[in-house]
């Protein structure tokens, strides 16, 4: 797949380095070619010298004198014979050249163990790829596996890394269950613990199985080079996407293939749902999205888990609220719904009167909800609406109003998500361990790989709308206040956090971390929307509501 070239400013540095590397490599190759005979003779001389040393060491001491005498006599004879020294030199060089020759045996095919693997895989596939009525079966017990496996590669440990299988045209490769059976069998026979890609060519009746290298886990949160409206969800395989972006990994900068999610008015998947098991990394994904959104937009965070994992964002410029309680969540989301409507009306009026759309309707607003299902039960018990109901307007009309909704939920509580959330979140991510059925139910299509059983945190799959299912590794974006976070990652996240717009006092910090014990006073909710599109009611984070603070600088201008 052709890659879109990077902007000159970004690519020129790395292109220069690549050119220099290529020049150095070709110079080294030429030098090796020229010096090859010398290298061979030197290696041979070294071997001869080593053999001589060993022989000398093995010679008993009482025989060393006569041996030395014999050698000296030989040298004398050679020196006296016409052309003796020259002939001796040529002979020594010839022997050294012979001794120093490259003796690595060139492999011409698989060894016995590898052959056995291929044979047993072939035998295992016979029941699936043969029919009793076939007079000339490609797959038959004791048949010729070479005809079915026309390309194969093994790694240094003798395990298959690539295999091209030709199969009979009557195999139902269009049926998902038939494919899955073959993929699981080949996975089991080729060695577990690695991730395999299965590429079915239905036209050519061929299947190529290849081992995928693990996705790099060393990329941490950083300022990614993206266009406005693009968010890096994570990184994927090199051939799977057309773009690359420069990333810092440790001390190195390299180009990596990102999974880019486009939001805003032209997005076809304006909202995202991320699903995973506990500890799979969905909170880190939301944190990563928030850090990328904040330089250009405002963020409202609703944390159903109530564990304070977004405390580092609380009170930062652009973070309009971090809500952990039901009342706060309801207030924040009600404001967001009103704000979406206000933006729509303002933009509509401007268009109708032939004016430019007001700037305050363009600033991206992000609603990040981590486990909103946690509120459903409390809300029902308390006779209050489920906060998810308030997502109806942002989800349905958010695209035109630059409002983006991101929901993270766990598999166990996925049923608690409302139909609106499911319908309108067309960008999907699954992180961590998941069965094929679970992956398919969230992504809408099965992945083409079978993942390893021990998946690193933040590893999963992404699918944007009806696009392909992509492998995904989310950049490490841990909670900088977590003691378990490494110094490098803490620094990386702290560097990206905007300044605080209000000082965080000790008592407030405590309350922002603790889950809300009960319903908050209704007074904390933002005022009801104005009948006319007017100034938006601003939600504030809990500490702001407790101690009235100046309206944050990042709050959209009223209009």
Annotated binding-site positions? 276-283
* Position 538 contacts ligand ATP (CB under 6 A): no
**Within 10 Å of residue 150's Cβ, how many Cβ atoms?**
11
State how far the Cα of 306 lies from the Cα of 284, in Å rounded to an integer: 15
Site for ligand ATP in 484-503 (CB under 6 A): 484
Mark residues 238-257: x for contact with ligand ATP by CB under 6 A, - for none. --------------------
Choice between 367 and 429, CB closer to ligand ATP: 429
Site for ligand ATP in 255-314 (CB under 6 A): 276, 278-284, 305, 309
Output the smallest distance, CB 421 to ligand ATP, in A.
18
Mark residues 438-467: x for contact with ligand ATP by CB under 6 A, - for none. -------------------xx---------
State how far the Cα of 533 lies from the Cα of 515, in Å rounded to an integer: 34
Question: Which structure tokens are listed for 107?
Answer: 């492999």
Per the annotation, binding residues for ATP are: 276-283
Q: By three-state DSSP, how is residue 261 classified?
A: strand
State how far the Cα of 279 lies from the Cα of 459, in Å rounded to an integer: 11
Q: By three-state DSSP, how is residue 93 classified?
A: helix
Choice between 264 and 372, CB closer to ligand ATP: 372
Choice between 473 and 541, CB closer to ligand ATP: 473
* Number of amino acids touching ligand ATP (CB under 6 A): 17
Residue with tokens 């061929």: 206
Output DSSP code: residue 109. Answer: S
Output the smallest distance, CB 326 to ligand ATP, in A.
19
* Position 327 contacts ligand ATP (CB under 6 A): no
Choice between 33 and 415, CB closer to ligand ATP: 415
Collect all residues with Cβ–Cβ distance below 8 Å to 400 and sequence separation of at least 6. Answer: 265, 344, 347
**Within 10 Å of residue 339's Cβ, how many Cβ atoms?**
28
Choice between 332 and 460, CB closer to ligand ATP: 460
Q: Which stretch binds ligand ATP (CB under 6 A): 166-174, 185-193, 384-392, 473-481?
A: 473-481
Alpha-helix runs per DSSP H in 233-388: 282-293, 326-352, 373-382
* Position 559 contacts ligand ATP (CB under 6 A): no
State how far the Cα of 43 lies from the Cα of 161, in Å rounded to an integer: 34
- Which one, of 500, 513, 514, 494, lies nearest residue 549 by Cα? 500
State how far the Cα of 126 lies from the Cα of 141, in Å rounded to an integer: 7
Q: Contact with ligand ATP (CB under 6 A): which of 264, 270, 297, 478? A: 478
Collect all residues with Cβ–Cβ distance below 8 Å to 547 and sequence separation of at least 6. Answer: 505, 508
Q: Contact with ligand ATP (CB under 6 A): which of 247, 336, 374, 474? A: 474
Site for ligand ATP in 191-220 (CB under 6 A): 217
CA dihedral 291, 292, 294, 299 (to 10 degrees): -80
Output the smallest distance, CB 474 to ligand ATP, in A.
4
Choice between 121 and 474, CB closer to ligand ATP: 474
Dihedral over Cα of 472, 476, 481, 485: its sign: positive
Nearest position to ligand ATP, beta carbon: 458
Q: Which stretches of the chain bind ligand ATP, using CB under 6 A? A: 217, 276, 278-284, 305, 309, 457-458, 474, 476, 478, 484
């Amino acid at each position: 797949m052709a890659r879109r070239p990077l902007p000159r400013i970004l690519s020129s540095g790395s292109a220069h380095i690549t050119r220099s590397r290529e020049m150095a490599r070709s110079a080294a190759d030429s030098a090796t070619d020229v010096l090859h005979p010398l290298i061979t003779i030197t290696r041979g001389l070294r071997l001869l010298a080593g053999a001589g040393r060993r022989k000398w060491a093995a010679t008993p001491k009482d025989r060393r004198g006569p041996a030395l005498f014999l050698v000296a006599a030989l040298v004398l004879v050679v020196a006296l014979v016409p052309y003796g020294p020259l002939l001796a030199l040529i002979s020594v060089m010839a022997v050294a050249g012979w001794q120093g020759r490259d003796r690595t045996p060139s492999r011409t095919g698989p060894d016995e163990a590898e052959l056995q693997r291929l044979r047993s895989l072939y035998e295992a596939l016979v029941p699936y790829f043969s029919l009793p009525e076939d007079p000339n079966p490609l797959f038959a017990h004791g048949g010729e596996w070479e005809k079915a496996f026309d390309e194969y590669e093994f790694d240094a440990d003798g395990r298959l890394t690539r295999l091209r299988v030709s199969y009979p045209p009557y195999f139902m490769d269009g049926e998902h269950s038939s494919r899955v059976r073959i993929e699981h069998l080949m996975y089991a026979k080729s060695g577990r613990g690695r991730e395999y890609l299965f590429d079915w060519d239905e036209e050519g009746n061929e299947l190529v199985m290849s081992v995928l290298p693990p996705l790099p886990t060393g990329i941490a949160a950083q300022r990614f080079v993206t266009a406005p409206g693009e968010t890096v969800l994570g990184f994927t395989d090199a051939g799977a996407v057309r773009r690359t972006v420069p990333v810092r990994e440790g001390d190195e900068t390299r180009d990596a293939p990102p999974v880019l999610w486009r939001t805003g008015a032209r997005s076809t998947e304006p909202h995202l749902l991320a699903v995973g098991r506990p500890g799979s990394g969905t909170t880190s994904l939301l944190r990563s999205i928030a850090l990328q959104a904040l330089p250009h937009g405002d963020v409202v965070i609703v944390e159903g888990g109530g564990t304070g994992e977004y405390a580092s964002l609380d009170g930062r410029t652009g973070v309009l609220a971090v809500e952990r309680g039901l009342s706060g969540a309801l207030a924040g989301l009600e404001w967001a719904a009103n704000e979406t409507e206000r933006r729509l009306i303002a933009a509509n009026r401007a268009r109708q009167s032939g004016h430019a759309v007001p700037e305050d309707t363009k600033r991206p607003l992000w609603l990040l909800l981590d486990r909103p299902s946690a509120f459903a039960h409390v809300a029902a018990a308390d006779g209050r609406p489920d906060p998810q109901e308030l997502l109806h307007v942002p989800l349905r009309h958010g695209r035109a109003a630059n409002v983006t909704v991101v929901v993270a939920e766990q598999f166990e509580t996925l049923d608690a998500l409302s139909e609106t959330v499911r319908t309108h979140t067309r960008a999907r991510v699954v992180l961590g361990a998941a069965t094929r059925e679970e992956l398919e139910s969230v992504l809408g299509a099965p992945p083409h790989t079978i993942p390893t059983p021990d998946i690193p945190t933040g590893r999963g799959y992404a699918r944007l709308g009806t696009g392909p299912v992509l492998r995904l590794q989310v950049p490490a974006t841990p909670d900088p206040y977590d003691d378990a976070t490494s110094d490098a990652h803490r620094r990386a996240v702290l560097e990206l956090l905007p300044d605080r717009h209000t000082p965080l006092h000790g008592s407030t910090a405590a309350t922002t971390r603790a889950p809300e014990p009960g319903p908050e006073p209704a007074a904390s909710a933002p005022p009801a929307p104005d009948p006319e599109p007017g100034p938006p009611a601003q939600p504030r984070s809990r500490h702001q509501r407790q101690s009235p603070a100046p309206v944050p600088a990042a709050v959209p201008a009223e209009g």
